[in-house]
Amino acid sequence: MGIEEDFYATLKLKTGEEIFAKVAATKEDDRTFLLVTNPIIVAEIKGRSGVMGYKIEPWLKTTREDMFIINIDDVLTMTESSDIEMISMYQAYCRDSDKTRKNQAKISRKMGYLANVNDAKEILEKIFKDS
């Protein structure tokens, strides 16, 4: 079976995490997987007068990948979303994160000196002793 048409959805994982993403289902070897694109976590920002807005963060903060595979067995519940406001916030987040990725400079030796930990430690200790 191939990949089904994608849709926007909120997923509640068995770990307790709640994510919003563009989702496509696929079935392989009698197992169903979800292809999740740009998953985000949405948190309410509350003030004295109640909810003031929303904070959107990437689901996984230590990777630049934008597509993940989740086993359907790890999903507690999933609901398709037709909430225009939520979809608009998600699309704006995706556009902004794409722009940020494209504008980031590649790290190179021209940017500065690269050292290993031992060499850097020796240099810093020498500077400290000389001051």
Query: How many other CB atoms are there within 10 angstroms of residue 7's CB atom?
Result: 14
Compute the mean pLDDT over every residue in the chain, rounded to the nearest whole number.
Answer: 85
CB of 67 within 8 A of CB of 61? no
Phi, psi of 56 (to 5 degrees): -110, 130
| Predicted confidence (pLDDT) at residue 10 exceeds the cutoff of 60 | yes
SS3 (DSSP) at 6: coil
pTM, rounded to two decimals: 0.69
Q: Which amino acid is at 107?
A: I
Q: Are 87 and 20 in contact (CB under 8 A)?
A: no
| Residue showing tokens 């507690």 | 76
Going by pLDDT thresholds of 50, 70 and 90, the confidence category of residue 30 is: confident
Residue in this structure with the two tokens 């996984």, named with its chain if needed: 60
pLDDT band of 110, cuts 50, 70, 90:
low
For residue 6, how many C-alpha atoms fall within 13 Å in the half-sphere facing its CB?
Answer: 11
Q: Classify domain 7-106 at the CATH topology level.
A: SH3 type barrels. (2.30.30)
Q: Residue range 83-90: average pLDDT?
A: 92
pLDDT score, position 50: 77
